[in-house]
């Protein structure tokens, strides 16, 4: 076994045995695509050592984060006890994933995962991630308003309404539970938001932004009204041809709680978990407590934010 294969196996052991806590009498489906096959096969190999009822399904990569997978893939996710989904495009905010969890399946999506991020992100202290997430929920969970500012020009206020903050800690042992892997964030689908946010960390399709590169978004009454970047604007406009104004929905505010992520690497999956950062997303929020269906979910990571809960500054976890 090569060193790279050994690293993939160790990360797979963490995902299957620690995070998922797969049992011998359970069924598991690994959902992957043609570009993430090695990670899918590593997870399948470890799962097959735990249970005789492990399956792997593979399909061509989707075109957009949040796009629904083929119907047979969705059916497999809904029929199993547990699933792991290392895919090029995110299944986190799809009806397929939501329906699977509603049916009692538990699992994790690994959207846009690379072998480097898989190995790095699963080499983490998940007990510490849980504790930092719980502390952040205590700090912001009951606030009616959350304000985020930065020296780069971010100044945006989110209204919680009747929505609830959720935590992504990597603990997915309970039926119906769900997490991203790598994990480490708390997040809210706000009832509304107004202001400006400036992404200076990571956002697709750019990946890790260059020093001084900034993406500016104007938000009014819960909808993005201006996008400074042509590539991102074109993605949202394309989605709007299908779902109209819902494509511009301000979908999420999230706070990273993974103190093991010390540097942004250009992977949204990992970078949005980095302690001391905030991320804001456009598009679909139906999978995270909202009511907007859209064929995209675009996260942008913001460095060095200051966060206020009902006017009181909140201490963020730091790497």
Burial of 17 (0-12, 13-18, 19+ CB in 10 A): middle
> What domains can be seen in the chain, in order of their start residue?
3-122 (3.40.1830.10), 124-314 (no CATH)
For 261-281, give one letter per residue: b (16+ CB within 10 A) or e: beebbbbbbbbbbbbbbbbbb
Number of neighbouring beta carbons within 10 Å of residue 3: 7
Look at the alpha carbons of 14, 66, 57, 78 in this order and tell me if their dihedral is positive or negative: positive
Q: Are strands 28-33 and 82-87 parallel, antiparallel or unpaired?
A: parallel
Q: Are strands 278-283 and 297-302 parallel, antiparallel or unpaired?
A: antiparallel
In whole angstroms, give the CA distance from residue 28 to residue 51. 8
Q: For each of the chain's 319 residues, which pLDDT tens digit applies?
A: 787 788 899 999 999 998 999 999 999 999 999 999 999 999 999 999 999 999 999 999 988 888 899 999 999 999 999 999 999 998 988 999 999 999 999 999 998 899 988 988 887 778 888 899 999 999 999 999 999 999 999 999 999 999 999 998 988 999 999 988 989 999 999 999 999 999 999 999 999 999 999 999 999 999 999 999 999 999 999 999 999 999 999 999 999 999 888 889 998 989 999 999 999 999 999 878 899 989 889 999 999 999 999 999 999 998 8
Whether residue 98 is preceded by a cis peptide bond, meaning omega within 30 degrees of 0, is no
Cβ neighbours for 234, distance < 8 A, ≥ 6 positions apart: none
Whether residue 283 is preceded by a cis peptide bond, meaning omega within 30 degrees of 0, is no
The DSSP code sequence of 161-221 is TT---EEE-S---STT-EEESS--EEEE--SEEEEEEEE-SEETTTEEPPTT--EEEEEET
Report whether 208 contacts 232 (CB < 8 A). Answer: no
Q: Among 69, 87, 67, which residue's Cα sits nearest to residue 77?
A: 69
């Amino acid at each position: 076994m090569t060193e790279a294969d050994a690293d993939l196996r160790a990360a797979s052991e963490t995902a299957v045995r620690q995070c998922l806590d797969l049992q011998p009498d359970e069924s598991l489906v690994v959902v992957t695509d043609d570009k993430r096959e090695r990670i899918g096969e590593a997870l399948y190999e470890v799962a097959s050592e735990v249970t005789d009822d492990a399956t792997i399904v593979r399909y061509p990569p989707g075109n957009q984060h949040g796009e629904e997978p083929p119907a047979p893939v969705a059916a497999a996710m809904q029929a199993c006890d547990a699933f792991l989904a290392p895919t090029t495009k995110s299944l986190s905010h799809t009806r397929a994933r939501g329906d699977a969890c509603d049916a009692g399946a538990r699992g994790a999506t690994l959207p846009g995962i690379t072998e480097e991020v898989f190995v790095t992100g699963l080499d983490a202290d998940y007990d510490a991630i849980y504790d930092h997430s719980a502390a952040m929920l205590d700090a912001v969970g009951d606030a009616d308003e959350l304000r985020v500012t930065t020296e780069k020009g971010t100044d945006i206020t989110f209204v919680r309404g009747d929505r609830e903050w959720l935590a992504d800690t990597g603990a997915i042992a309970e039926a119906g539970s769900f997490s991203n892997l790598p994990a480490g964030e708390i997040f809210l689908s706000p009832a509304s938001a107004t202001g400006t946010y400036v992404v200076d960390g990571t956002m697709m399709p750019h990946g890790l932004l260059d020093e001084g590169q900034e993406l500016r978004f104007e938000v009014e009454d819960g909808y993005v009204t201006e996008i400074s970047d042509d590539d991102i604007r074109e993605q949202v406009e394309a989605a709007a041809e299908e779902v109209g104004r819902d494509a511009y929905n301000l979908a999420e505010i999230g706070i990273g709680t993974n103190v093991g992520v010390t540097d942004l690497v250009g992977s949204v999956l990992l970078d949005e978990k980095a302690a001391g950062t905030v991320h804001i997303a456009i598009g679909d929020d139906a999978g995270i407590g909202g009511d907007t269906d859209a064929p995209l979910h675009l996260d942008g990571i913001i460095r060095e934010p200051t966060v206020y809960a009902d006017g009181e500054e909140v201490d963020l976890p730091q790497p």
